[in-house]
């Protein structure tokens, strides 16, 4: 059990990193990675949503959808759960962390359409994880997302001070930076216990 | 705006991938081969047309406050239908696109068109807008996947081109290649169109 948990942790953080290897959650990864502080805030908000969403969707899937043979409603049911959770997080952040709320801007409600969140809930079902494993996988995958976005923000803060060819400023150079980071993450492939 | 203009708008002027930079996850994840790119593009186009038409029909009935939730339910329904159709008629494609089919729900292009076009325009125009944007997305995916498949696998549409002579650079179809190829294409488009990237 412990060995399995550690190997899932390594996979989610490094060898199968959600952003760098599996391409989930690219929009916030590129959109909110201009400053380290905002990136950390975004990572924490996403981690919270993904951990709770993993548990809620497991419960709904196990006790409602599977019991009544309604598995084909998974996508619709899961996205509604996620949308509800994000609404809740938004209200919480707005009230207790107004600075973070302003920094995240439009990307906070857009966590609903972060494919990492819906992706992890569907992967939990696909991999046949139980309640605890779903929760752990959701949390670990979100930590992998946080790791990638914080590293990216760190690099982009330095990128600001360099002169880049005009047509590559902004988005294109960010993508190429991400590509080079992905090469580094590929270096971990095969690492397991 | 005339019909042809709406389609041209989606294909070129406001191309969802290269100009609006929306829907990056499927753009990067499924463009490892032209078959996958085209399959994803056309599936998303079908969802986009269906959701635009339904939302446009219901635009006067959906209360403003819960419109996003309503849009998401409509989009998710369309995606579920497409997913069932793909599983039934194109099981190979369904398998290789895998989890990225249900993830069409969270493709920002679809929600963006619902919010900015279908909720304000009549049915016919919304359908055309869905078609134009969908084809713009499909075209972008095809361009990226042709480049990645050619350099990364030495094939196009699965047909062997030069693999016997030179070994293809497989990194292009792996994760880093996705980011770098897309970055180079957008940079090149900026250079050609003369649009200067944001000062950063």
- Residue whose structure tokens are 């076009």: B117
Cα A138 to chain centroid distance, Å, stands at 9
The angle, 0 to 180 degrees and rounded to 10, between the axes of the packed helices B34-57 and B67-89 is 140
**Distance (Å, rounded) from C-alpha B76 to C-alpha A76?**
5
Report residue B10's pLDDT band, with 50, 70 and 90 as the boundaries.
confident
- Flag whether pLDDT at B130 surpasses 90: yes
User: In chain B, what residues touch A31 (CB-CB under 8 Å)?
Assistant: none
Separation of alpha carbons A187 and A168, rounded Å: 27
Identify which of B21, B103, B186 has the shortest CB distance to residue A119: B103
pLDDT tens column, A54-98: 999 999 999 999 999 888 899 999 999 999 898 888 888 889 988
Closest Cβ opposite residue A23 in set B106, B175, B199: B175
Across the interface, do B175 and A186 touch by the CB < 8 Å criterion?
Answer: yes
Predicted pLDDT at B199: 43
Residue B38 gets the label, from left (phi > 0), alpha (psi -120 to 50) or beta, of alpha
- Provide the 8-state DSSP code for B61: T
Q: Which residue of A has its CA nearest to B70?
A: A80
Chain A positions touching B25 (Cβ under 8 A) are 23-27, 115
Helices of type H across B90-113: 91-97, 108-113
Percent of chain B with pLDDT over 90: 62
Whether A119 contacts A24, CB under 8 Å = yes
Q: Which residue has the tokens 């330095």?
A: A158
**Of B25, B177, B196, which is closest to A167 when you measure between CB atoms?**
B196
Which helix (H) or strand (E) segment holds residue A76: the answer is: helix A74-96
Interface test with A, best of B16, B44, B76, B177 (most A CBs within 10 A): B76
Contact A113 B106 (CB under 8 A): yes
ipTM: 0.88
Question: What value does the mean pLDDT take over residues B173-194?
Answer: 91
């Amino acid at each position: 059990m412990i060995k399995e948990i550690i190997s899932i942790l390594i996979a989610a953080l490094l060898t199968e990193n959600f952003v760098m290897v599996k391409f989930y959650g690219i929009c916030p990864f590129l959109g909110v990675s201009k400053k380290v502080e905002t990136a950390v805030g975004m990572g924490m908000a996403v981690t919270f949503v993904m951990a709770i969403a993993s548990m809620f969707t497991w419960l709904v899937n196990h006790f409602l959808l599977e019991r009544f043979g309604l598995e084909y409603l998974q996508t619709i049911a899961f996205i509604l759960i996620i949308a509800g959770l994000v609404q809740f997080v938004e209200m919480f952040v707005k009230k207790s962390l107004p600075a973070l709320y302003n920094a995240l801007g439009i990307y906070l409600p857009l966590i609903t359409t972060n494919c990492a969140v819906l992706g992890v809930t569907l992967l939990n079902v696909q991999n046949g994880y139980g309640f605890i494993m779903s929760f752990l996988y959701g949390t670990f995958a979100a930590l992998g997302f946080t790791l990638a976005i914080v590293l990216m923000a760190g690099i982009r803060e330095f990128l600001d001070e360099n002169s880049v060819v005009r047509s590559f400023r902004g988005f294109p150079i960010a993508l190429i930076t991400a590509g080079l980071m992905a090469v580094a993450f590929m270096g971990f492939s095969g690492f397991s216990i | 705006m005339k019909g042809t203009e709406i389609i041209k708008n989606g294909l070129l002027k406001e191309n969802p991938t290269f100009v609006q930079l929306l829907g990056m996850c499927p753009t990067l994840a499924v463009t490892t081969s032209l078959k996958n790119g085209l399959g994803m593009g056309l599936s998303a186009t079908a969802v986009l047309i269906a959701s635009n038409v339904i939302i446009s029909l219901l635009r006067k009935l959906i209360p403003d406050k819960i419109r996003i939730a309503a849009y998401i339910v409509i989009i998710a329904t369309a995606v579920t239908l497409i997913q069932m159709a793909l599983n039934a008629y194109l099981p190979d494609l369904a398998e290789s696109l895998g989890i990225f089919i249900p993830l069409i729900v969270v493709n920002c292009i679809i929600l963006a068109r619902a919010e900015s076009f279908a909720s304000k325009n009549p049915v016919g125009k919304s359908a055309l807008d869905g078609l134009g944007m969908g084809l713009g997305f499909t075209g972008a995916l095809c361009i990226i996947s042709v480049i990645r498949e050619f350099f990364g696998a030495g094939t196009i549409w699965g047909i062997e081109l030069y693999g016997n002579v030179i070994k293809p650079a497989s990194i292009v179809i792996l994760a880093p290649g996705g980011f770098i190829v897309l970055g180079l294409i957008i940079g090149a488009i900026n250079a050609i169109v003369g649009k200067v990237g944001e000062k950063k």
